[in-house]
Amino acid sequence: MLSKPIQKLADLFLKFPGVGPKQAARFVFYLLREDPSAARALAGAVASLHDEVKICAQCFKTYDNNHVVSSAKEGLCELCRDDRRNPKMVMVVEKEVDLENVERTRKYEGLYHVLGGTISPLDSSAPTRLHLKELFERLRVLAAGAEPVEVILATNPTAEGDATALYLERVLAPLKNQSSGLKISRLGRGISTGSELEYTDEITIANALQNRK
């Protein structure tokens, strides 16, 4: 029995992933309790989002369009424009937040490719929604060069992540067969620090054995 303005905004919040009717209503009432300037600031940020945030034409990472200097690399994010990064090393991640976590380690100096999701064994249309064709074309051009190229499949250790990695290996197999300089690798998996074998599942132990040093 919410008033129409409240219900209208709550219905918009309902479109957000993971938000239910009660939570959507709480968002609206929170804004009503706040100073009107907070609602105006939120509305302004939402209205300008598509103008200020762009998607990288190469890796599909988002970037701030306000701080881009016009150059020959226009349309690329700050990582793809960085000449200090290794363009012959491409890490494939499911989503942008995975990329951010890798960057925090300061141990990776290559570039990225954001798929935009995973492949579900129960969803045959999933591959068409991901940036797979763009990845294949990007690696095809890189593999045509004289220098070796490495693509790192950094999907998550889940059923969907493993299915996606296996699918990518099949898709990229022709490129690997054509170019001896193309290497396909996956992130190592194993037993984390502080864990005990007694409480570790068999899949993790198997991965630890496979990736032992």
pLDDT tens by residue, 100-128 = 989 998 889 999 999 999 988 777 777 78
**pTM over the 0.85 mark:** no
Query: How does residue 72 score in pLDDT terms, banded at 50, 70 and 90?
Result: low
Residue 96 is predicted with a pLDDT of 94
For strands 62-64 and 53-55, give the pairing: antiparallel
DSSP class of 140: H
